[in-house]
Structure 1
Amino acid sequence: MRTSSAADERRLSIGVVIHGPEVVDTGFAHQALEWLEGHGDVVAVLGGTMGRVAIIDAGLEGRVDISRRRSPSQSVQDLQHSDLTVLMNHAKSRETGLVFGSIVASRARPTNPLIQVDSGGRFVAALANSSERSNAIAEGLASHFGFEILDALMQYDDLRQEGDVMVRRVWGVLPGERISVNGTVIGTATDTHVEIMEQDGRIVGARGIKLKMHGLEKLPYVDLRSAILRSGSVRRTAGMLKPRLCSLRTGRNGRFAIIDHAAEDAFELASDASFVITIGDDTTAIAGDVLSRLGIPVLGIVDGDPDGICNGLVMPDRSVIVRVREGNDDIVGKAIKAISEKRRPSSLEEALNMVREAAGDRIVSVIRCDGRR
Structure 2
Amino acid sequence: MIPTADIVMVVHGPEAFDAGDARRLIGLLAPRRVLVAGIMARTAAEESGLSVVCTDERPSVVFRGLSGRSCLVNRGKTPESGRIFGELVAGRLGGLVHVETSNDTVYCWNRGDRELAEEIVRLTGYALVCAESDGGRREDVREIRGCLPGEAVFVNGIVIGTATAETVILASENGNLRAVSGLDPKPHGFEKLLRADLPDIQTAWCKSGPVRSSPPRQGERARCGGRVAVIDHCGHTLYREIGEDVCGVLAVGDDTTAVCGHICSHSGIPVFGVVDGDADTIVKPGYAPGSVVVEVQDGRDDDVGRELAAVRDLETDSWEAWVEETLRVLAGRVRVVLDLRGA
Distance in 1, Cα, partners of 2:41 & 2:133 = 27
Q: Which moved more, 1:292-301 or 1:204-213?
A: 204-213
Contact 2:227–2:247 under 8 Å retained in 1: yes
Deviation at 1:89, TM superposition (A): 0.3
Show structure 2 runs of 5+ residues with no match.
none
Secondary structure class of the residue paired with 2:35: strand
Distance in 1, Cα, partners of 2:222 & 2:259 = 20
Q: Which position in structure 1 is the counterpart of 2:63?
A: 76
Structure 1 residues 170, 138: CA separation in 2 closer, same or farther (over 3 Å shift)? same
Q: Which moved more, 1:216-225 or 1:270-279?
A: 216-225
- Are 1:231 and 2:187 matched, yes or no? no
Distance in 1, Cα, partners of 2:9 & 2:117 = 13
Contact 1:124–1:147 under 8 Å retained in 2: yes
Q: Which position in structure 2 is the counterpart of 1:123?
A: 105
Distance in 2, Cα, partners of 1:46 & 1:183 = 18
CA RMSD of aligned residues (A): 3.0
Secondary structure class of the residue paired with 1:255: strand
Q: Which position in structure 2 is the counterpart of 1:65?
A: 53
- Are 1:295 and 2:268 matched, yes or no? yes
TM-score by length of 1: 0.80
Deviation at 1:274, TM superposition (A): 1.2
Contact 1:332–1:358 under 8 Å retained in 2: no
Contact 1:201–1:221 under 8 Å retained in 2: no
Q: What letter matches 2:332 in structure 1? A: D
Secondary structure class of the residue paired with 1:195: strand
Distance in 2, Cα, partners of 1:301 & 1:200 = 33
Secondary structure class of the residue paired with 2:150: coil
Deviation at 1:12, TM superposition (A): 5.5
CA displacement, residues 290-324 of structure 1 (integer Å, 9 cap, x when unaligned): 12222111100011179xx9x96121221111111
Deviation at 1:204, TM superposition (A): 2.9
Deviation at 1:327, TM superposition (A): 4.2
Contact 2:253–2:275 under 8 Å retained in 1: yes
Contact 2:110–2:132 under 8 Å retained in 1: no
Distance in 2, Cα, partners of 1:9 & 1:168 = 39
Q: What letter matches 2:286 in structure 1? A: V
Q: Within 5 Å, which residues of 2 pair with 1:134-213?
A: 134-157=113-136, 159-161=137-139, 166-199=140-173, 202-213=176-187
Matching residue within 314, 332, 336 for 1:361: 332
Determine which structure has more spread, i.e. the larger CA radius of gyration: 1
Aligned length: 336
Contact 1:89–1:118 under 8 Å retained in 2: yes
- Deviant stretches of 4+, over 6 Å: 8-11, 249-253
Distance in 2, Cα, partners of 1:205 & 1:290 = 30
Distance in 1, Cα, partners of 2:89 & 2:126 = 21
Contact 2:226–2:247 under 8 Å retained in 1: yes
Distance in 1, Cα, partners of 2:178 & 2:308 = 29
Deviation at 1:337, TM superposition (A): 2.0
Matching residue within 23, 26, 41 for 2:16: 23
Show structure 1 runs of 5+ residues with no match.
1-7
Distance in 1, Cα, partners of 2:224 & 2:6 = 37
Percent identity for Structure 1 against Structure 2 = 32
Q: Which position in structure 2 is the counterpart of 1:4?
A: none
